[in-house]
């Protein structure tokens, strides 16, 4: 069912994904705001927010904190991934690149803070109710989506309705994530092998890609060891490898290609220039 939805979302390419993303990107914000309002009304929510925002400076000396921070910001922002570069090439001539470059990191970080506030208001309530420290409540990774948030929804009036909306939101978030991968990979393959575009329609090519991904998903993730394969992808496919890739891109664009040349290209296409701070 998931891949059927994926196919009918990407079968026309960027034309179809651009329309679906309006709903897929906005609904999660609505649900997060509702959960935050409910969480703030619970007893003990302040305890959770204090745990979230009051720093423990000694933890800054540990490598794990910096590694997790890098993993989060690189994954959530999408920077260093191919899809972000691909969507940049699909921009309209009148769209301003610098304005998007300024606002997208701010919106991304604000979204992460919003989701964290939602989670920790409920963790504070659980900590207060069960009379245990928040440190003892260990929830991370896949448990956030399938344990923590569903438990929060049971505290809302009409929890069954909210549960349906929540898992519908998860599907939308998954679609948001996979749109870029499909669009990027199909665009790359069609650019490298233009003969494919002559031999078959876009819809047929998209169907073949979806079938390949579906088969690989069955083999990798739907066996008894699938959760371990998933955790390997989750821990090693992003984070530090993306950081080194981003450093390489920065060196290439900044020192080999040159910021002056990049600024000239930006001016030719958008009328903007890269601001010089030094």
Structural domain includes residue 214: yes
Inside any domain, residue 234: no
Shared domain for 125 and 151, answered yes or no, is yes
Same domain, 42 and 87: yes
Read off the pLDDT of each residue in 2-15 and give the average, rounded to a whole number. Answer: 73
Does residue 148 form part of some domain? yes
Both 164 and 204 in a single domain? Answer: yes
Please indicate, yes or no, if residue 232 is contained in any of the structural domains: no
| Residue 35 and residue 164 in one domain | yes
Report helix, strand or coil for 155: coil
272 and 216 in one domain?
Answer: no
pLDDT at residue number 276: 67
Do residues 171 and 95 both lie within one domain? yes
My answer on whether 60 and 137 are in the same domain is yes
pLDDT surpasses 60 at 271: yes
The model's confidence at residue 18, banded by pLDDT at 50, 70 and 90, is low
Residues 162 and 270 in one domain: no
Would you place residue 49 in the very low, low, confident or very high pLDDT band (cuts 50, 70, 90)? very high
Residue/partner pairs of 228-232 with CB below 8 Å, 24 or more apart: 230/142, 231/141
Strand blocks (E) in 32-137: none
Q: Kindly state whether residues 222 and 261 are assigned to the same domain.
A: no
pLDDT of 175 reads 76
So what's the pLDDT on residue 215? 92
- pLDDT, mean of residues 74-99: 76
The proportion of the chain whose per-residue pLDDT surpasses 70, expressed as a percent, equals 92
| Residue 272 belongs to domain spanning | 239-278
For the chain, percent helix, then strand, then coil, each to nearest 5?
80, 0, 20
Residue 184 and residue 145 share a domain: yes
Computed over its alpha carbons, how large is the radius of gyration of the chain? 22
Query: Which residue, chain included where needed, has tokens 């959530």?
Result: 76
Q: How many domains does the chain have?
A: 2
């Amino acid at each position: 069912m998931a891949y059927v939805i994926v196919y009918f979302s990407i079968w026309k390419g960027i034309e179809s994904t651009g329309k679906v993303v309006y709903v897929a990107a906005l609904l999660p914000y609505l649900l997060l705001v509702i959960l935050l309002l409910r969480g703030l009304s619970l007893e003990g929510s302040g305890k959770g927010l204090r745990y979230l925002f009051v720093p423990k400076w000694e933890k800054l000396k540990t490598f794990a904190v910096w590694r997790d921070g890098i993993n989060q910001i690189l994954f959530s922002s999408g920077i260093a991934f191919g899809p972000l570069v691909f969507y940049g090439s699909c921009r309209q001539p009148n769209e301003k690149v610098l304005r998007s470059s300024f606002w997208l990191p701010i919106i991304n970080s604000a979204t992460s803070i919003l989701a964290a506030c939602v989670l920790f208001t409920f963790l504070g309530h659980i900590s207060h109710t069960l009379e245990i420290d928040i440190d003892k409540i260990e929830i991370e990774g896949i448990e956030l989506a399938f344990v923590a948030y569903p438990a929060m929804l049971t505290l809302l009036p009409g929890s069954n309705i909210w549960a349906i909306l929540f898992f519908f939101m998860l599907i939308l978030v998954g679609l948001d994530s996979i749109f870029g991968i499909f669009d990027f990979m199909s665009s790359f393959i069609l650019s490298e092998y233009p003969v494919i575009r002559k031999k078959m329609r876009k819809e047929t090519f998209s169907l073949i890609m979806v079938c390949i991904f579906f088969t690989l998903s069955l083999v990798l993730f739907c066996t008894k060891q699938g959760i371990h394969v998933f955790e390997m992808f989750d821990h090693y496919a992003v984070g530090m490898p993306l950081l080194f890739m981003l450093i390489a891109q920065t060196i290439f664009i900044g020192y080999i290609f040159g910021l002056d040349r990049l600024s000239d290209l930006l001016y030719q296409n958008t009328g903007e220039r890269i601001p010089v701070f030094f």
